[in-house]
Amino acid sequence: MIQQTLVLIKPDGLQKSLTGNILTRLSETRLDIVAAKVVRVSRELAEKHYCHLKDKPFFEDLIRYICGEFHKRKVMAMVYYGENAIEKVRKLAGATNPEEAEAVSIRGAYGRITTTGVYENVIHCSNNEKEAEREIKLWFNPEEIIVDIYPTKVVKREIEQRVWA
Ligand code: DAT
Ligand code: MG
């Protein structure tokens, strides 16, 4: 089954210079990167991304973490595409709790729980196809992805846009 999955290298991963290591690990999957960008995450984007967790006691810290308040304010967002992409990336990422993740997984090798209980698990990857679609549409516009993965439509809009001066 050909799938796509959203992968984020979280602010701790970028700050710790783990980008290269994480991308190398992900290349073991033989999946295709079909979109990539560096993002300054707004509170609005963070809250939408983690909307299913808004009642959890750790929600506020989770939002601050992904927005980069504990590190530099940036996240690297990518879409990986190919056979069983979701399961392949999740297996490599390891368990949500970095202390429970297999030692050789990305989270097991590079993650930690802070003294205040934040799971700094260096990477996000979609849980299932439904979540992947919701997350990819939240983080990317269709023209930022080099393959057609979801149906699109063309609309005419007058919008203000920043261009090179
Ligand atoms: P995953 O990121 O493995 O898909 P999730 O979607 O259940 O896990 O949760 C999203 C993030 O929320 C996760 O990467 C880290 C944080 N989180 C989950 N459970 C937590 C907990 N019990 N304490 C602190 N942070 C937690
Ligand atoms: Mg999840």
Which pair of structure tokens corresponds to residue 107? 């989270």
Reference 65, options 108, 114, 132, 5; nearest CA is 114
3-state SS class at 100: coil
Mean pLDDT of the chain: 97
Q: Which helix (H) or strand (E) covers residue 113, if one does?
A: strand 112-113
How far does the centroid of ligand 2 lie from the alpha carbon of residue 126, in Å?
A: 6
Q: Are 18 and 131 in contact (CB under 8 A)?
A: no
Per-residue pLDDT tens digits for 27-60: 999 999 999 999 999 999 999 999 999 999 999 9
Tallying the residues shown for the chain, one arrives at: 165
User: Quick one: average pLDDT of 120-124?
Assistant: 98
Per-residue pLDDT band for 17 (boundaries 50, 70, 90) equals very high
User: Looking at domain 2-144, what is its CATH homologous superfamily?
Assistant: Nucleoside diphosphate kinase-like domain (3.30.70.141)
The closest residue, in CA terms, to atom 7 on ligand 1 is 96
Per-residue pLDDT tens digits for 70-115: 999 999 999 999 999 999 999 999 999 999 999 999 999 999 999 9
Domain boundaries, the chain: 2-144
Q: Is 52 a catalytic residue?
A: no
Complete edge-to-edge strand list for the sheet that includes strand 32-39: 32-39, 75-83, 2-9, 123-125
Q: What is the reported pLDDT for 27?
A: 97
Would you tell me how many other CB atoms lie within 10 Å of the CB of residue 133?
16
How far does the centroid of ligand 1 lie from the alpha carbon of residue 51, in Å?
A: 12
Tell me the C-alpha to C-alpha distance, in Å, between residue 5 and each of 1, 29, 37, 112, 155: 13, 12, 15, 24, 26
Q: What is the reported pLDDT for 54?
A: 98
Q: What is the reported pLDDT for 150?
A: 97
Q: Residue 72 burial (CB < 10 Å; 0-12/13-18/19+)?
A: exposed
Which pair of structure tokens corresponds to residue 76? 């690297």
Q: Which residues contact 117 (CB under 8 A, 6 or more apart)?
A: 58, 61
Q: Is this prediction's pTM over 0.95? A: yes
Q: What is the reported pLDDT for 55?
A: 98
Neighbours of ion ligand 2 (CB under 5 A): 127
